[in-house]
Amino acid sequence: MESSKEYHSRDARRTLTPQKRKVKTLSSNSTTSLAPDQGPAPVQFRLGYISLLAALVGVIAGIVAFLLYNLIGLFTNLSFYHVWSFHFRSPAENQLGPWVIVIPVIGGIIVGFMAKYGSEKIKGHGIPEAMEAVLTSKSRIEAKVAILKPISAAIAIGTGGPFGAEGPIIQTGGAFGSLVGQMVSTTAAERKVLLACGAGAGMAATFNTPIAGVILAIELLLFEFRGRSFVPLVIATTLATSIRQLLLRTGSMFHVQPMDFGIPRALPYYLILGVLCGAAAIAFTKSLYFIEDAFDRLPISELWHPAIGALALGIIGFFVPRVLGVGYDTLGDILNNSLALKLLILVALCKAVALLLSLGSGTSGGLLAPMFMSSAAMGGVFAVAVNQIFPGAHLSPGACALVAMGAVFGAASRATFAFIVFAFEIVRDYNAVLPLMLVSVIAYAIALRYLPNSIMTEKLARRGLQTNQDYEMNALKQLKIAEVMVSDVATVDPAETVLAAADRFAHGDLKSSRHHALPIVDSTGRLQGIVTQGDLLRALQADPDGKMTVLDAGSRSLVVAYPDERVFDAVTKMLENNIGRLPVVDRKDPQKMVGYINRANVMGSWRGHLHEESVRELGWLRGFGPIPLAGGLKDVATGRVVSLTNGEIRLALNSDGANEANEFSLTEPARGVSLGDRVRVRYRNENGRKVAVKIEELSSRQ
């Protein structure tokens, strides 16, 4: 027969599981004074330093925007007018006749060779590529992209491509921001801010819209609104816009006449326009990637894809010259209601088709300006059509064009706020705000419902990259450790033997067995160390009699938490030190333990957030509240499992059910639940019995 001591030791070893921990362990004869080790100090974000670098990035982005603007003008003049001039002009006035079909093809061939032998990153409209750099490369962009992207875009647009300059400038500005961040010592977070500064500054310098540039960078690249990123962004966009105004000596990109937005008279019509804009955003997105897929299936090299798309563009441009080039002049005419209905319809349809075929072929160019033109034309057509059907509507085609322009791209890109502000900055008329907000959010809601990804993130999703564009407050940063820590903590005395401590776990001491580690506290309440189940197992392997004390087996150099810290800070300490629990001590007296936090407490801290998101509560008007659950399910009890059989679960209830019975009948065994677990039981009353319908585990052994 085995001795009692041998039996307990082997029983304990069967119960314990080794667990690797990264701790500093003192020798057995070392002093017992506790010196909490908080690990290496985290690197802080250098707001002042990054702001200075952001100023440099903003100046560079402003100069790059100016150079690209002039480079597009040069290639346009060379291609369509055969003159050496940097003057920005539209190719729509050319006198080339059928030769206009050939010029975009030449540009497409050049871009195809640049993409094949230069960098694949120059393909597309720029913003998804900048987002990909943030997600996959820690905001690192190759230097050659900063050179090849603007040149390829200038060639594509200068030879008639129906693109905007803003996408390439955003990517190029982001590339220079990334390069600045790579030239000096920075963290990935600092480099991301610099990349976003370059991108936002490029947007601001293109359209003279600094506020929209800031918001666009936040919504599409940073996915955060924090002082550490907002301050550098504002500095960069301010300087980029100032450089633009200094070099180009112009105000707003578009000179728009005063508009009548018809508030509140026209609000019902704006509701309909919002639905149309949402549908247009969906159509644009799905069509673009459908055409990209069609080009990918062609049995020829990708080198020639841009030339094929350019051929289709040339044919369309021969019949409708206004689709060629950036089209800022045409967009200005639409906003000023200077185009007839037939021409508006042609521009809306042909510009969209030309854009989709060209960009879908994999050439280089921006998506923003052409989508603006097509959607603005659609808004103008809507206003004219409504006025003909309802003569008393008196809708302004320019106002509807402006509203549609911001709403369609905002919905397609899921940067609605940025383009509400963008459209407002163009006209600088406060009366535009209400229709812009209404139409944009309706379009956004429709696109959100029917598009799993935005026009920017669909390409990334196809590469296996998921981008979360929602802003959610981290619950771990809102809760203090004092709110979630366990105050009633099982402890061990420093003189207690390893065998005695192991027996606690082996025999199911509920208070102890819920944890994988126990704090070592002396008779005066002073924290001396911590011992884990892995420590006990290793001690028993070295000394099967288990006579070693837990103080010798455990660790005395501890990482601790404080009650006034955030739960997020506790998680950071756990991850940095590869541990799963922290003693919580008084900040003024590091040896006075006031609680204990482990992974279960951290997970439980999300419970309130999930409850707010998913539980519908009965309102005052009970008839309009949630539908009652089947079978009369209405009661909930929360407590600790003290007894468990296949047919019954017994809880030690807390305040949620202080006056309730603690026995609940089970219709089937409760799987995954053990003695000592804290659970929530949803039950119904049946003939005086409480029948458990659902058991949720809130915390278990850690």
4-40+477-604 and 267-462 in the same fold: no
pLDDT tens digit string along 234-264?
Answer: 999 999 999 988 887 666 667 788 888 988 8
Question: CATH number for the 47-248 domain, one of 3.60.21.10, 1.10.645.10, 1.10.3080.10, 3.40.50.300?
Answer: 1.10.3080.10
The domain locations on the chain are 4-40+477-604, 47-248, 267-462, 628-699
Give residue 159's pLDDT.
Answer: 87
Q: Which tokens belong to 497?
A: 């033997």
Residue 469 exposure: Cα atoms within 13 Å on the Cβ side: 28
Got the DSSP string for 580-649? Answer: SEEEEE-SS-TTBEEEEEEHHHHHHTTHHHHHHHHPPPP-SSGGGSPPPPGGG--EEEEEEEEEE-SSEE
User: Is the preceding omega at residue 590 within 30 degrees of 0, hence cis?
Assistant: no
Architecture of domain 4-40+477-604: Roll (3.10)
pLDDT tens digit string along 460-507?
Answer: 888 777 776 666 667 777 788 888 888 877 888 888 888 888 877 666
Give residue 167's pLDDT.
Answer: 77
CA–CA distance, 211 with 228 (Å, rounded to integer): 17
pLDDT tens digit string along 308-354?
Answer: 888 988 899 889 888 888 888 888 889 998 888 999 999 999 999 98
> Are the C-beta atoms of residues 312 and 306 closer than 8 Å to each other?
no
Residue 366: closest CA among 455, 462, 296, 297: 455
CA–CA distance, 507 with 497 (Å, rounded to integer): 16
Give residue 525's pLDDT.
Answer: 81
Q: Tell me which of 589 and 28 has the higher pLDDT.
A: 589
Residue with tokens 């951290």: 602
Q: Give the three-class secondary structure for 529.
A: strand
Instruction: Categorize the per-residue pLDDT at 132 as very low, low, confident or very high, splitting at 50, 70 and 90.
Output: confident
CA–CA distance, 337 with 334 (Å, rounded to integer): 5
Instruction: Categorize the per-residue pLDDT at 27 as very low, low, confident or very high, splitting at 50, 70 and 90.
Output: very low
pTM above 0.95, yes or no: no
Give exposure, 557-577, as e/b (b: 16+ Cβ within 10 Å): ebbbbbbebbbbbbbebbeeb
Whether the per-residue pLDDT at 269 is higher than 90: the answer is: yes
Q: Could you confirm whether domain 267-462 is CATH 1.10.3080.10? A: yes
Percent of the chain whose pLDDT exceeds 90: 18
Whether the per-residue pLDDT at 632 is higher than 70: the answer is: no
Give the contacts of 300 (CB within 8 A, at least 6 positions apart). Answer: none
Architecture of domain 628-699: Beta Barrel (2.40)
> Are the C-beta atoms of residues 251 and 424 closer than 8 Å to each other?
no
Give residue 612's pLDDT.
Answer: 67
Amino acid letter at 48? G
Give residue 386's pLDDT.
Answer: 94
Whether the per-residue pLDDT at 274 is higher than 50: the answer is: yes
Average pLDDT over residues 513-524: 78
Q: Give the three-class secondary structure for 84.
A: coil
Give residue 702's pLDDT.
Answer: 46
Q: Tell me which of 280 and 656 has the higher pLDDT.
A: 280
The Cα-based distances of 225 to 7, 229, 422, 572 in angstroms read 60, 7, 18, 21
Percent of the chain whose pLDDT exceeds 70: 84
> Are the C-beta atoms of residues 661 and 685 closer than 8 Å to each other?
no
> Are the C-beta atoms of residues 74 and 158 closer than 8 Å to each other?
yes
Residue 530 backbone phi and psi in degrees, to 5:
-150, 145
Instruction: Categorize the per-residue pLDDT at 426 as very low, low, confident or very high, splitting at 50, 70 and 90.
Output: confident
